[in-house]
Structure 1
Amino acid sequence: MLNTAILDIVIALSFTYFILSMMVSSINEAVSNARNYRGNLLRTTLFNLFYEKGSTTNAKQPATSAKTTQTTKGEIKTEPETENAWKDCLDEILDSPFIDSVRKKANEFPAYIPPENFTLATMDFLKEQVKDKDGKYDENNLLQTLKKKLENNEIAIIKGKFKTKLLTLIDKSQYDLDQFKIELESFYNKATEQLGSWYKRKIKLILFGYGAILALAFNVDTFHVGKVLWQKPSEATAFVEQIENYKAKKKDPTMTQADSTLQQIANNTINDINENYGTLKPLPIGWNDKEAAPFMRVLGIKNKAEKAAKKFQTTAKDAWFDIFSKFLGWFVTAAAVSLGAPFWYDVFN
């Protein structure tokens, strides 16, 4: 009996977190799409791949300083530095049809660029740089020609760290074009993997923030909900039965997939989620006079404070304790919601 009561409470709380997580996912997806958060983050990451600060404030203006390099023939070539020569190269790479094909909107930076697309776009850019006056190039000697032109500073747009990286990849591939593409794709993967790890950590904080807002707005205090259901096990059992009805109606295997798939589900069913939020009504959540009484007492709102103190016998000491307890309960709710809907869907199933 005891184990059943505890299990019912766990299922009830898990379902509550799941509903809130779905709502948070929808909010986050809407905000991210509106601000193109992922796209802007990817653009910044690509921009910083070979960023180097020079002596000018405009990447397209020549710098006053210069860099000298020695060619394979022993000649000394002068290479003007810019604040970020890589930006000009990146602009041309991103202007490729391989990048345009993954844009959701024509003038919007893509939220994700597959490694193969970035590699193909970069290769097209490099091929343009080695073409002769007739617009032709030797596919079999592409890397040899590219290396020669880079060492002789014959490609004005490629400078600095990007140039150094290309020369390194050429040497590493030993002039094998297929291997060069593999090395280039591997480099891109490593750069974006770091972005992915950082983005996941950032999203956790964002989901926590949205979860805290919803917890406060709907007064979803984990400790209070658990306490009431423990004191009234019949209500917990009845609520679990309602959850079973929800699962039978809404069961969808895609809900256990990745967050990106879940976002699509949340966007398509947000109105339905709002209706199903009524399923949580039997739980002790939401605001009423009793729940607001401690805040009224502490804030000293006239009439309402006196009414709350008289009706619910709320002293100042009790009010402060209740408020602290609520903030702690909201914090736990927000932390649980930040784990994501897929996690809680698996738990209550």
Structure 2
Amino acid sequence: MFSNLAIDVALGLIFIYLLYSLLASVVQELIARIFNSRARLLTKGLRRMLEEDDHSKDLGWFGKFTFFNWFYELGWSVVYFFEPFRKNPFLRKFYSTPSIRNLGENSATSRPAYISPQIFSQTMLHLLRGSVKEHAGTDAQAVKTALTLNTLHLVPDTQEHLLQLFEDAHHNIPAFRINMESWFNETMTRASGWYRKQTQTWLLFIGITIAALFNVDSIAIARILMKDKNVRTEMVQLATSRTPAYSAITDTLIRKNILHPDSAFFRADTSLRVFVGDTSLIGVYAMLRNDAGDAANVLGISRACITDTSSGHPVLRCGYTHPFQQNSWLIFGGWCITALAISLGAPFWFDLLGKVVKFRTTPPPDNSSGTRQ
């Protein structure tokens, strides 16, 4: 069995990062539910497919620079948050169809968080076919007429792309639907990447907030673990005892909540909805808060208010009690390190914790040269 200072310090730090990464993930998931983030990202993906969503040309010469584009797009994101169908009449019509509208959970979250590729192609076909009120002949002729005359008032790029997909299918409706489903899958794969990027940004901001509120100072924690053997031992025991529970949370709450192998975006029946409802999510949060308190007690890092009478008059002073937390700049630096670590996500730290624990419990190799003759 390997057990030395470096391994135990690393194990303690990794456990702290895993604990607060899980806590941040729970907070981020609660925020995502409150603001219906998945449905909004799905709408953004459909907007990119079906409507013109490139605002860089509005900036003129400044649109050549990423810096200006980023802030301009951020402003449009705020606009779309309150008006998701602004200047998007076709997208509003798409969401108004019964096949899409009925997927919403309720009136508060009327837009679904997941649409299957088959439902997308079916809805598009219904819209194209139904836009030609007076048509004779087959569905293929109706779709061809709708796309050629642009009866749905699609933006030129979308109209041209759908025409090309229809021609690639040789005017065969089942093949045309398959082409639209492939197009949808490609866009939604990128939408899942947008969501991962958004989640990581949220975790960074939530991480710095948690680090400040809970005083998770990575620099001070590392120094404590290096100096105090009893603290190291207790942290190792705490990490070992909590690993099974964190395994279930990490697998169910985070890993299975990203993508399902047979989905284009987020499935409506993900394990998160089944296993971790709103009430259970709060229960997980309470459990992690309790573990965070236990870890803080082991480390001995806390804030306190004392009455200072050195000046002759009682003055209430609030600050940090641990001797390793006397430099405010180091404390802030420790918080920033914690925030960056949290932004890496709980799966990263859980996998790393498992590797360190396995290495620590591996018996040392037998270097004996054997019995002498």
Same fold, TM-score > 0.5, yes or no = yes
Question: Greater relative contact order: 1 or 2 (C-alpha under 8 angstroms, separation 6 or more)?
Answer: 2
Q: Which has the larger radius of gyration?
A: 1
Distance 2:35 2:176 in 1: 36
SS of equivalent to 2:51: coil
8 Å CA contact 2:19, 2:288 repeated in 1:
yes
8 Å CA contact 1:169, 1:180 repeated in 2:
yes
C-alpha change, 1:251 and 1:43, in structure 2 (3 Å) is closer
> Which segment is superposed worse, 205-214 or 4-13?
4-13
The residue aligned with 2:344 is 339
Aligned-pair identity (%): 23
Distance 2:21 2:272 in 1: 10
> Which segment is superposed worse, 279-288 or 19-28?
279-288
Please tell me the residue identity of whatever aligns with 1:118. F
TM-score for both structures, normalised by structure 2: 0.68
Distance 1:313 1:120 in 2: 66
The residue aligned with 1:282 is 298
The residue aligned with 1:236 is 232
8 Å CA contact 2:32, 2:38 repeated in 1:
yes
Distance 1:312 1:174 in 2: 74
**Correspondence for 2:120 among 118, 121, 137:** 118
- Structure 1 unaligned segments of length 5 or more: list them: 54-83, 294-301
Deviation at 1:86, TM superposition (A): 8.5
Distance 1:334 1:222 in 2: 10
Distance 1:165 1:17 in 2: 47
Deviation at 1:130, TM superposition (A): 4.1
Deviation at 1:274, TM superposition (A): 2.3
- Per-residue Cα deviation, 1:175-225 (whole angstroms, up to 9, x for no partner): 122221121112222222232222212221110110101101111111110
Please tell me the residue identity of whatever aligns with 1:95. S
- Per-residue Cα deviation, 1:273-332 (whole angstroms, up to 9, x for no partner): 222333212024332369xx9xxxxxxxx9457x98xx9999xxx96xx22211111111
Aligned length: 294
**Correspondence for 2:207 among 203, 208, 211:** 211
The residue aligned with 1:106 is 107
Deviation at 1:253, TM superposition (A): 4.2
Distance 1:313 1:279 in 2: 20
8 Å CA contact 1:224, 1:284 repeated in 2:
no
The residue aligned with 1:147 is 144
The residue aligned with 2:51 is 51
Deviation at 1:235, TM superposition (A): 1.6
Q: Compute the RMSD of aligned alpha carbons.
A: 3.5
Residues 1:175 and 2:187 are matched in the alignment: no
Deviation at 1:42, TM superposition (A): 2.6
Distance 2:116 2:298 in 1: 47
- Per-residue Cα deviation, 1:222-245 (whole angstroms, up to 9, x for no partner): 111011111112221122112322
**Correspondence for 1:247 among 243, 248, 251:** 243
> What are the equivalent positions in structure 2 for 1:257-272 lying under 5 Å apart?
258=255, 260=257, 264=276, 266-272=281-287
Residues 1:195 and 2:210 are matched in the alignment: no
The residue aligned with 2:88 is 87
SS of equivalent to 1:326: helix
Deviation at 1:346, TM superposition (A): 2.4
Residues 1:273 and 2:275 are matched in the alignment: no
> What are the equivalent positions in structure 2 for 1:12-23 lying under 5 Å apart?
12-23=12-23
> Which segment is superposed worse, 42-51 or 186-195?
42-51
> What are the equivalent positions in structure 2 for 1:1-80 lying under 5 Å apart?
4-52=4-52
Please tell me the residue identity of whatever aligns with 1:116. Q
- Per-residue Cα deviation, 1:328-349 (whole angstroms, up to 9, x for no partner): 1111101111112222222223
TM-score for both structures, normalised by structure 1: 0.72
- Structure 2 unaligned segments of length 5 or more: list them: 54-84, 258-270, 309-313, 355-373
